[in-house]
Structure 1
Amino acid sequence: MADLQHIALTTKPTAQISYTFHPATTTTPSSTTPPPLLIFLNGLGLPQASWFATIAKLQESTTPLPALLTYDRYGQGATTDRDPADEGAEDPTHGHDCLAVVRDLRQLITQIANDKLNVKPEEIDSIPLILVANSIGCALARLYAQTYPRTVAGLVLLDSVLANSDFVSIFPDPDAEDFSATSLPEGITADAIRTARENIARIFHPSVGSKEGLSRKNLAALLPDSDGPVLTGPDGKGPFVTVVGHDFDTFAKESAKMSGGRGEELTKAYANPYWHRYNQGLVKITGEEGRGKGPVIAEGAGHFIQKDRPDLVAGEVLEVLKKVL
Structure 2
Amino acid sequence: MSQQPSAARPVPVVAEPPLGRHHDLGRDRRLMLHRSGTGGPAVVFLPGAGLVGLDYLNTHDRVAERTTSVLYDRAGTGWSSPAALPRTAAEVVAELRDLLHAAAVPGPYLLVGHSLGAAYARHYAQRFPDEVAGLLLLDPFHEDLHALVSQDVRDKLELMRDQELPEVTEEQIERSRSQVAPLFAAWPDTVRTALVEYHLTAWRTGAYESRNVYAEVADELRQGPDLPDVPLIVLTALGHDATQAHLWSEDTLREINAGKRTLHARLAASVPRGEQRVLDDAGHGFLHEERPDAVLQAITELLARAGG
Q: TM-score, normalised by structure 1?
A: 0.68
Q: What is the DSSP-based 3-state SS (H/G/I as helix, E as strand, rest coil) of the residue aligned with 1:250?
A: coil
Match for residue 276 of structure 1 among 249, 253, 261: 261
CA deviations 1:55-81 (Å, max 9, x no partner) are 23435xxxx6221111011121222x2
The answer for the alignment partner of 1:152 in structure 2 is: 132
Paired residue type of 1:164: D
1:197 Cα deviation from its structure 2 partner: 4.9
Find the counterpart in structure 1 of residue 295 from structure 2: 313
- Return the offset for 1:99: 0.5
Asked if structure 1 preserves the Cα contact closer than 8 Å seen for 2:60 and 2:70, the reply is no
Q: State how 1:131-210 maps to structure 2 within 5 Å.
A: 131-165=111-145, 167=146, 169-173=147-151, 193=152, 197-204=154-161
Match of 1:3 in 2: 19
Pairing 1:122-137 to 2, within 5 Å after superposition: 127-137=107-117
Residues 1:220 and 2:256 aligned together: no
1:56 and 2:61 matched: yes
Matched residues in 2 for 1:51 and 1:82: separation?
A: 21
Note if contact 1:6-1:16 (Cα within 8 Å) is conserved in structure 2.
yes
Q: Deviations over 1:2-57 (max 9, x none)?
A: 932111114x3x13211200131x5xxxxxxxx42210001112111221121234
Identical columns (%) = 25
Task: Please identify which structure carries the higher helix content.
Answer: 2
Hey, what does 2:71 align to over in structure 1?
70
Is 1:93 aligned to residue 106 of structure 2?
no
Question: Where has structure 1 moved over 6 Å in runs of 4 or more?
Answer: none
Separation in 1, partners of 2:25, 2:54: 21
1:170 offset after TM fit, Å?
Answer: 4.5
Q: State the 1:97 CA deviation.
A: 0.9
Cα–Cα, structure 1 residues 266 and 19, in superposed 2: closer, same or farther, change >3 Å?
same
CA RMSD, 1 decimal: 2.8
Structure 1 match to 2:82 = 82
Task: Name stretches of at least 5 consecutive residues in structure 1 with no aligned partner.
Answer: 27-34, 84-91, 120-126, 174-192, 233-237
CA offset digits 1:271-325 (Å, max 9, x no partner)? 1111011101111232x2xx2221x112321112213222221111111111112
Alpha carbons 2:149, 2:259 under 8 Å: kept: no
* Unpaired segments ≥5 residues, structure 2: 1-17, 166-203
CA contact (8 A) 2:144 2:263 kept: no
* Shift in Å, 1:198: 4.5
Larger RCO: Structure 1 or Structure 2 (Cα < 8 Å, ≥ 6 residues apart)?
Answer: 2
**TM-score normalized by the length of structure 2:** 0.71
Q: How many residues align?
A: 247
Distance (whole Å) between structure 1 residues aligned to residue 34 and residue 45 of structure 2: 10
> Aligned match of 1:255 in 244, 254, 265?
244
| Higher Cα Rg, which structure | 1
Q: What is the rounded CA distance, in whole Å, between the counterparts of 2:270 and 2:99 in structure 1? A: 25
